[in-house]
Structure 1
Amino acid sequence: MKKVIFISSTGGHLTELMQLAPMFDGVDATLITENTASNSSLKDKYGSKFHTLVYGTKQHLFSYLFIFAFNILKSFVLFIKIRPDYIITTGTHTAVPMCKIAHLFKKKVIYIETFANSKTPTQAGQMIYPIADLFIVQWESMLEVYPKAVYGGWIF
C-alpha cells in the first residue's frame, strides 16, 4: 500500500486538505498540520497517523525564523520515520520543507494551489511549482500563472 503524507498549515489550507479525507482510506495516510487548539480533535480521530509541527506566523518574524528552522528538522525526522511515497499538500509555509525533502529523496510531490487565490500565486506555490510532480490549480485563470499546472476545479 502506498504511503502518503497529507500536509498543510492550519486554517483554510487545512480545511481544503480535509476535503481529500475520503482518499485517506485507499492509502496508508498520515496527516500533518500545525499544532493549534482548533486541530486537537484530529489527534482523536487519526491517532498515531496524525502529527503536528509548531505553529508560527511571519507577523512575528524573529521567532518565526526559529520555529521554521525547528519545523524543517521535525519534517525531516517525520519523513524518515514515515517514508512516504507521496506528499500531497494544499500549502503553505508548513508544507514547503516536507515537499523539498520529498523531492530530494525522489518521492512524488502533489501540490494543490489554494482556492483563495484566483489570479496571483502564493509564495509556497512559487517555491513548489518547479519541483512538483503534479501541480493543481483550482481556478482556470491560474493556468496563466502556472502554465504547466493542471486545472482541477474547486476542491470544495
Structure 2
Amino acid sequence: MSKDKKKVCLISSSGGHLEQIRQLKDVYNQYDCFYVVSRTKATEAMKQKHYIVSDLVRKNKVVMVLRMTRMMFEQFGIFIKERPDVILTTGAAVAIPMCVIGKSFRKKVIYIESFARMNTPNKTGLLIYKFADLFIIQWEALKKYYPKAVNGGSIY
C-alpha cells in the first residue's frame, strides 16, 4: 500500500447493510479497504479482506451490554492492527464500537443511513449522527431527523 493511499474500514451487519456497502465499488477500488462484518455463511465466504466479529443480541439489557463490551474489545484489536484512516458504515449496531473507537482516535467517520429507511431513522443512525464527520441519507424525508445530513441519493 502506498503511504498516500487512505485505509478504509467498511463495517456493517450482514444482509441488506452489507449489500449496500458492497455497492460502493469506487471506494474499495480507490482506497485500501477491509471489511468488518458479522458472521453468516455469506460473510465467511467473502473473497475481500475481512474480519468476522460478534454482533449485538437484544435479548435483554444485561446480555446487550455484555455483547457490546465484547464487540468493543474485538473491534479495538482490529482497529489497532489495521489503523484505518476512515470508518465507513451502513450500520447497524455492529458498527457502533468501531465508529466510537475511530472517532476517539480522531479518524473520520462516515455513516450512510440504510436505503430501507425512507421515512424514519434507525437507532444506530441517531447515535452515530451525533459525531459522524459525514452523514449521508438516501431519502430526503430523513432530513427532518438529520438536518445536517447530505442527501447522497440511492446507492443502488
TM-score over 0.5 for the alignment?
A: yes
In structure 1, the partner of 2:111 is 111
Identity of aligned residues (%): 41
Q: How does 1:13-52 map to 2 (within 5 A)?
A: 13-42=17-46, 45-46=47-48, 49-52=49-52
Following the alignment from structure 1 to structure 2, what is the Cα–Cα distance between the partners of residues 9 and 58?
14
Query: Which whole-Å deviations, capped at 9, do the CAs of 1:58-97 have from their partners, x for residues lacking one?
Result: 1465544332211110111111111111010000100011
Following the alignment from structure 2 to structure 1, what is the Cα–Cα distance between the partners of residues 126 and 98?
15
Q: How does 1:65-76 map to 2 (within 5 A)?
A: 65-76=65-76
| Higher helix content, 1 or 2 | 1
Other structure's SS at 1:106 match: coil
Following the alignment from structure 1 to structure 2, what is the Cα–Cα distance between the partners of residues 114 and 129?
13
Following the alignment from structure 2 to structure 1, what is the Cα–Cα distance between the partners of residues 55 and 11?
13
- TM-score (norm: length of structure 1): 0.91
**Alpha-carbon RMSD:** 1.4
Other structure's SS at 1:95 match: helix
Aligned residues: 152
- TM-score (norm: length of structure 2): 0.91
- Report the alpha carbon displacement of residue 152 of structure 1 after superposing the two structures with TM: 0.5
Following the alignment from structure 1 to structure 2, what is the Cα–Cα distance between the partners of residues 61 and 153?
35
Structure 1 consecutive aligned stretches of length 4 or more whose deviation exceeds 3 Å: 59-65
In structure 2, the partner of 1:94 is 94
Unaligned 5+ residue runs, structure 1? none
Following the alignment from structure 1 to structure 2, what is the Cα–Cα distance between the partners of residues 78 and 9?
16
